[in-house]
């Protein structure tokens, strides 16, 4: 049994080494992402592990089949950038990491919202300029707000627990309601109902074609004036140009974005001293009421270890038994 892992970061290496030592399985790691060119490296391996937010090569699953690979394990949750029909067609089992640390992402989303509510981005800039005046940047208390949670899977439920700890009123919407939460009566019947009631809208849902640009000019117009929007889920859920307009005109009081619809050429790259070619993103970065981070909500020691271990354990299980608890297709 032999595995190869692509796009491996320095912070993952110690977990790969520890797993190899414990399981006695050969795992070779490379820093480059999976591309048409790097696919040539998969020959001779039983399983391939990958982690990338951008696109995978179109011919990937056909090539994996051709080279004798039987399992493709991603070290993350989302499979929206994978052609699962092609995987099935080429008899490649695909696994993911459905829950590496829900709390990591939930905690981060609340942390970012608190910064928006207390205008810390503005005050950080003002203090750097030696302007120590307060007004007009009065803050809001979370306990006085209604938080609308969109998506009540593991991460959404963890966020709900945290928001309740602050004393906030929580409402939620999910196409597939959680039975326990349904009994508590926190669900509203539609996106529109949540948009109309919530002071804060926080997204914890997967990306689907149906929900592309869920947040756009039309849906923003249905929200309260002064709403806050938090997205630690998928960038494609928000039409960024429409959001920028709403942030500028004040309909949206603040937005915390840990993901961006065109993030692949930006996030996790060193672009210092370079002009950004994405004008919408550049405009977003100039706004005091926008808090942007480069897809790091998941990024804790616990989560990184779990992502590596679960992906490797899944690949090993498929090779040994033909299936795994984390099997996607």
Task: Dump pLDDT digits (tens) for 214-245.
Answer: 999 999 999 999 999 999 999 999 999 999 99
Active-site pick, 75, 204, 234, 261: 234
pLDDT at position 226: 98
Active-site pick, 263, 269, 301, 320: 263
Active-site pick, 75, 154, 204, 295: 295
pLDDT at position 20: 98
Work out the pLDDT band at 53, boundaries 50, 70, 90. Answer: confident
pLDDT in tens, 90-116: 999 999 999 999 999 999 999 999 999
- What number of CA atoms fall less than 13 Å from residue 240's CA on the CB side? 23
What is the mean predicted confidence (pLDDT) over 308-316? 98
The yes-or-no verdict on residue 157 having pLDDT over 90 is yes
How many helices and strands (H and E) does the chain possess?
12, 11
The domain 102-292 having CATH identifier 3.30.70.2970: the answer here is no
pLDDT at position 314: 98
Strands of the sheet containing 26-29, edge to edge, are 26-29, 2-5, 47-50, 71-74, 93-95
Beta strands in 216-302 (DSSP E): 227-231, 252-257, 290-292
Looking at CATH, the fold of the domain delimited by 2-100+301-321 is given as Rossmann fold (3.40.50)
263 as an active site residue: the answer is: yes
pLDDT at position 214: 98
234 as an active site residue: the answer is: yes
Q: Where are the domains of the chain?
A: 2-100+301-321, 102-292
What is the mean predicted confidence (pLDDT) over 70-85? 94
Work out the pLDDT band at 152, boundaries 50, 70, 90. Answer: very high
Average predicted confidence (pLDDT) for the chain? 97
Same fold, 2-100+301-321 and 102-292: yes
pLDDT at position 87: 98
pLDDT at position 171: 98
Work out the pLDDT band at 80, boundaries 50, 70, 90. Answer: confident
130 as an active site residue: the answer is: no
Measure the CA dihedral 99/266/207/94, to 10°: -50
| pTM value surpassing 0.85 | yes
The yes-or-no verdict on residue 246 having pLDDT over 90 is yes
């Amino acid at each position: 049994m032999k595995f190869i892992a692509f796009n491996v970061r320095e912070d993952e290496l110690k977990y790969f080494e520890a797993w190899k030592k414990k399981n006695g399985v050969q795992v070779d790691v490379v820093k480059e992402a999976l591309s048409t060119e790097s696919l040539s490296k998969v020959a001779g391996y039983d399983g391939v592990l990958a982690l990338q937010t951008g696109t995978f090569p179109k011919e990937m699953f056909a090539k994996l089949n051709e080279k004798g690979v039987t399992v493709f394990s991603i070290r993350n949750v989302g499979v929206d950038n994978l052609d699962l029909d092609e995987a099935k067609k080429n008899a490649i089992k695909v696994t993911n990491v459905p829950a590496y640390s829900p709390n990591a992402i939930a905690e981060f989303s609340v942390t970012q919202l608190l910064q928006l509510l207390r205008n810390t981005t503005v005050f950080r800039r003002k203090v750097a300029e030696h302007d120590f005046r307060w007004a007009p940047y009065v803050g809001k208390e979370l306990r006085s707000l209604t938080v609308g949670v969109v998506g009540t899977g593991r991460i959404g439920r963890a966020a709900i627990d945290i928001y309740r700890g602050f004393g906030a009123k929580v409402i939620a919407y999910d196409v597939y309601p959680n039975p326990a939460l349904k009994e508590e009566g926190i669900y509203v019947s539609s996106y529109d109902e949540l948009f109309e009631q919530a002071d804060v809208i926080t997204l914890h849902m997967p990306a689907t074609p149906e929900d592309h640009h869920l947040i756009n000019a039309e849906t923003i117009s249905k929200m309260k004036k002064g709403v806050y929007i938090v997205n630690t889920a998928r960038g494609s859920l928000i039409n960024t140009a429409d959001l920028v307009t709403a942030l500028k005109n004040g309909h949206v009081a603040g937005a915390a974005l840990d993901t961006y619809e065109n993030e692949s050429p930006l996030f996790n790259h060193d672009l210092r001293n370079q002009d950004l070619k994405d004008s919408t993103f550049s405009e977003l970065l100039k706004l005091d009421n926008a808090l942007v981070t480069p897809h790091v909500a998941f990024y804790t020691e616990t989560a990184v270890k779990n992502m590596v271990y679960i992906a490797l354990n899944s690949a090993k299980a498929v090779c040994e038994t033909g299936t795994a608890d984390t099997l996607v297709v």
